[in-house]
Amino acid sequence: MVEDVLNKFGERIVEKLRSDIRNKPLRRRDGKAYVASASGKLERELNYRVDANSIKVYANDYIYFLEYGRKPTQATSGSGQVRKAIRQWIDDKGIVPRGISKDSLAYLIARSIHRNGTLLYPQGSDLISGCITDEMLSDFKNDLFLAVTDIVGQSLKTLKQAA
């Protein structure tokens, strides 16, 4: 019973996060806004699991940067992970640069992120932290209360029958 309540809540969280990834405007420090979804991969790979009376929500690691932004980094000879991710984003968004190649554009954007951070930094967003609403929590508490009440009631019935 409690597991059912946790599964229902996990489904609601994942459903709300997927909707927010597709639709919620994330305000950048330049005043513009965008939605997080580019390829749909983030929302497709979003999931939850109920373990030992807890809910764990799983997402691609870059969801962290959609919540907190990415701060500037020191110039290093890194792995090129940011540039590769930006190059994929360019393809996913269907961006066709004028006058330079997609690889050059990816390099320039990655360099800017390393120098200046992302446009969500430092204010971040509430993509994750704003996902669980007061209404969702209230519904969860009510469902949990009913499940626990049911368990206690069944236990008392069993005790009466045993006596």
pTM comes to: 0.81
Q: pLDDT per residue over 73-122, tens digit each?
A: 876 667 888 899 999 999 988 999 999 999 999 999 999 999 999 999 99
pLDDT at 106: 96
Residues near 46 by Cβ (< 8 Å), separated by ≥ 6?
14, 17, 18, 21, 57, 58, 59
How wide is the angle at C-alpha 18 spanned by C-alphas 85 and 82, nearest 5°? 10
Closest CA to 108 of 80, 83, 72: 83
Joined together, the tokens standing for residue 24 give: 């919620």
What is the rounded distance in angstroms from the CA atom of residue 19 to the CA atom of residue 152?
36
pLDDT over threshold 70, residue 9: yes
DSSP 24-61: PPEEPTTS-EE-S-SSSHHHHT-EEEEETTEEEEE--T
Q: pLDDT per residue over 111-163, tens digit each?
A: 999 999 999 999 999 999 999 999 999 999 999 999 999 989 888 888 778 76
